[in-house]
Amino acid sequence: MKKKVLVLCTGNSCRSIIAEALINNYLDGIEAKSSGVKASGKVNPNAKKVLEEFNIWSDKYYSKTLDKVIDEKFDLIVTVCDNAKQTCPIFPRPIPKLHISFMDPAGKEYNSFIKTYNEIKKQLLPQVKDYFDAK
């Protein structure tokens, strides 16, 4: 049975979408979804472009509000920005949390999205894997 991870950020348009795609593509046995505490309702075009460039984009990735995922049973919540960490909602059952903050590339040049992608891949993936390996 796959472990389930919720990646949470503010707008759910860049960092959390990238992290969701990376987890789903590189961590066997782990399924990720993402959401925003104040979801923008759209995926940033540059975030989508980065995921397409690395061949891990899927149409199943979209900007979601918390009400779309709050009742799902997650094994871990990963917050990828300080605002999401501070405003992380109370879920119906206690869920362990991991916080790894990344720069928001929104409004910056495309290279910032590539940098964020690489940082998430390098930092977040090993920590999520290690968390579940320790269980």
Distance CA 78, CA 99 (A): 6
Q: Is 14 a catalytic residue?
A: no
5, 7, 8, 9: the active-site residue: 9
Condensed to tens digits (0 to 9), the pLDDT of residues 60-116 reads: 999 999 889 988 999 999 999 987 777 767 777 889 999 999 999 999 999 999 999
pLDDT, tens digit, for every residue of 11-66? 999 999 999 999 999 999 999 999 998 899 999 999 999 999 999 999 999 999 98
Instruction: Locate the domains of the chain by residue range.
Output: 3-130
Question: What predicted TM-score, i.e. pTM, was given to this entire model?
Answer: 0.95
Alpha carbon separation from 43 to 48, 69, 71, 127 (Å, rounded): 7, 17, 23, 25
Rounded alpha-carbon distances, angstroms, from residue 99 to 20, 45, 46, 113: 15, 25, 24, 20
- Alpha carbon distance 123, 39 (integer Å): 24
Out of 88, 98, 106, 114, which one is annotated catalytic?
88
Among candidate residues 50, 81, 100, 120, the one labeled active-site is 81
CATH 3.40.50.2300 fits 3-130, yes or no: yes
